[in-house]
Amino acid sequence: MMEALDILTTASLWAAVLRIATPLIFGVLGALICERAGVLNLGIEGIMTMGAMVGWLTVYWGGDLWAGLAMAVLAGMAMGWLHAMLTVPLGLSQHVSGLGITLLASALAYYLYRLWVQVGDLPPTIEPFQPWPIPGLSAIPFLGDVVFTQTPPTYVALILVGLVAWMLARTPMGLALRMTGENPHAVEAQGLNPVRIRIWAVMVGSGIMALGGAFLTTAAFNSFFPGMVQGRGWICIALVVFASWRPGKALLGALLFALFDAFQLRLQTVVEGVPYQLFLMAPYVLSIVALILVARRARVPEALMQPYRRGER
Amino acid sequence: MRFERREDVSLPALILAPLIAVLAALVLCAGLIAMAGVSPWLAYGEMLRGAFGSRLAVTETFTRASPLILTGLAAAVAFRARLWNIGGEGQFYMGALAAAALGHSALAGWPLPLAWAALAAAGMAAGAVLLLVPAVLRLRFGVDEVVTTLLLNFIVLLIVGLMVEGVLKDPMAFGWPQSVPVAAGLRLPDLVPRSRLHVGIVLAVVVVLLVWLVQARTVFGAETRAAGLNPRAAAFAGVPITATLVKVALLSGGLAGLAGAIEVLGPVGYVTTTMSPGFGYAGIVVAMLAALHPLGVVAASVFVATVFVGADAMSRATGVPSFIADVIMAVALLAMLVALLFTTWRVRR
């Protein structure tokens, strides 16, 4: 018991929490933007896989790490465009289309990886992002080691939370996006085009999701391998509900989630006799429990999963 | 451009839709194959040869199709009632675990047909219970079952790992993580001698016919359809929506569980964490290509099995990565969605 408490007070645990949370923050923000505009994007798992592959490949082919992130965003947006085309103008089932996008994006990522990369006994590696201590701030005791000695994509994720929250709450663009998710007919009445807003929201959201995948291959690890996203996308979909579709709470949810994950990873080394699978199960079980806890009082965007057809109720 | 609902969906259109979708998928993926420096004609030819070119190939393709028929049917019956069961993979493994656990020694002395019936029932029950959880969570708490069934797939795979390295571990497997084998006397007989094809495929087709009959001829079948088409109107007309969805969940989970049990009793004989090459997920593609019709599921399963078995052989012969099979599946699924749209709507300018 004391050992467990000791773990909780180390800076390295809390630094790991932020690291583990980073792909979730990107994923949950991306999913949130899509859903606030009224489109469920179950393509997330595949889009993250695609982002992971494209980000890694760009660097492997000699590109800059930042170029890797940019290419990942573009690849994610391309997949998002496809999902948007199928679900918004065509009004197809968002569930099935999303699953199809996940199957397509991950299959395509694996196919192209195998096609373009010679894999020996071990997958080839790149030189990933290194921690980037922020001058001055990183000298703050404890907090400096936890928050201000991370890799650059983690800072990007944290800044993005604030940016998305501000955009949604304070800008006309954000208002239009939220309105599209609540009542697209009212948006039309304002002279705006809800179809175009939804398409852009899904594309931007998907681009952000892809960053979550790219973080895995360019900062957390240094190689790409099949199955590496490991259900993080699905966990993000659960986290959006848990966060009641709010960016601030999404950050909180991702951190809480990462805390459990980092804690169980360290607990595994201390507690003996418990099969490791039980620890690995924790994040998935936790997601389901989180869903049950909030589902009753969650305020879902009114028009989520409602296809919009002009002049039809 | 605007869409207008067709008065009725014609049967030829419904049969044409998957054919067009598959064709579109093959044409689009030809580009990807060409990127590998291989002629698409050659690659598709190799795929056909790999799936049907020899007696062994044919039996392998149908061996691969039999679990797909059941997981595809599982997805089809659930989707028809708008119950989004994406957990076929997990239910498959639960059924497999149940069959291996009971088939190793507990039922070893039982008379044969009875033991098979008991093992099939155990597999179905295991799968059904696994889907009952998300179904109840949706009906009781409004939790979206897509996410819960997906997450349960990951949980179940870890449970399988726990079992095959723990209580169900085979001590004779030289440390390989695999479960104890099913008693030799309980294995399903081969359908074609000296092959892996066994009577499981016959069972699967019989189950398809039964489900088709139930859907077309019984009150439950009509209620399922009503619940899927318009739950509010159905409830108003007196259809017990909750009870119907629970029954659909039990049926759907049971079918996927049965697939796992048959796979263990038939070609495999034990459980490992890698025994399913994504049967549960491919079942979703099968169900959609079948336009959720039980009979269509059989044809779609054979197609999907052809692509997977054929792609492996084609990959060995030409060097095109075998992941092309997954790409073809995914594109076919998306193309089918679009094709189905045009069977129910028409475009008006």
Which residues of chain A from 263 to 302 reach within 8 Å of chain B, CB to CB? 275, 277-278, 280-281, 284-285, 287-288, 291-292, 295-296, 298
pLDDT at residue B170 in the model:
85
Summarize the confidence of residues A112-120 as an average pLDDT: 91
- Give the pLDDT confidence of B145-199 residue by residue, as tens digits: 999 999 999 999 999 999 998 888 888 877 788 898 998 888 888 888 888 888 8
The candidate with the shortest Cα–Cα distance to B282, out of B256, B258, B262, is B256
Instruction: Kindly report the CATH class assigned to B2-348.
Output: mainly alpha
Instruction: Name residues whose C-beta falls within 8 Å of residue B40's C-beta, 6 or more positions apart in sequence.
Output: B29, B30, B31, B33, B34
Per CB-CB distance under 8 Å, the chain B contacts of A106 are: 326
Complex ipTM tops 0.90: yes
- Give the pLDDT confidence of A241-270 residue by residue, as tens digits: 989 899 999 999 999 989 988 888 888 777
- Residue pair A100/B337 in contact (Cβ under 8 Å)? The answer is yes
Are the beta carbons of A277 and B333 separated by less than 8 Å? no
pLDDT at residue A274 in the model:
82
pLDDT at residue A311 in the model:
64
Amino acid at A29: L
Instruction: Kindly report the CATH class assigned to A11-117+130-295.
Output: mainly alpha
CB nearest A108 (choices: B152, B161, B327): B327
Q: Å from B182 to nearest chain A CA?
A: 24
Taking the domains of chain B in order of start, what are their residue ranges?
Answer: 2-348
Instruction: Name residues whose C-beta falls within 8 Å of residue B253's C-beta, 6 or more positions apart in sequence.
Output: B74, B85, B87, B91, B127, B128, B129, B130, B131, B132
- Residue pair A133/A149 in contact (Cβ under 8 Å)? The answer is yes
Which residue, chain included where needed, has tokens 């979909």? A237
Q: Å from A149 to nearest chain B CA?
A: 33
CB nearest B151 (choices: A231, A310, A311): A231
Q: Which residue of A has its CA nearest to B167?
A: A275
DSSP-derived 3-state class of residue A277: helix
Are the beta carbons of A288 and B338 separated by less than 8 Å? no
Q: Which two tokens stand for residue B166?
A: 């723990």
Rounded to 5°, angle at Cα A91 from B140 and B82: 30
- Give the pLDDT confidence of B97-127 residue by residue, as tens digits: 999 999 988 877 788 889 999 999 999 999 9
- Give the pLDDT confidence of B206-255 residue by residue, as tens digits: 999 999 999 989 999 988 888 888 888 888 888 888 999 999 999 999 99
Q: Å from A310 to nearest chain B CA?
A: 8
Instruction: Name residues whose C-beta falls within 8 Å of residue B346's C-beta, 6 or more positions apart in sequence.
Output: B3, B4, B6
Q: Is A104 on the interface with B (CB under 8 A)?
A: yes
Interface test with A, best of B144, B288, B314, B342 (most A CBs within 10 A): B144
Are the beta carbons of B36 and A115 separated by less than 8 Å? yes
Q: Å from A137 to nearest chain B CA?
A: 39
**Percent of chain B topping pLDDT 90:** 70
If you count residue pairs, one on A and one on B, with CB atoms under 8 Å apart, how many are there? 125
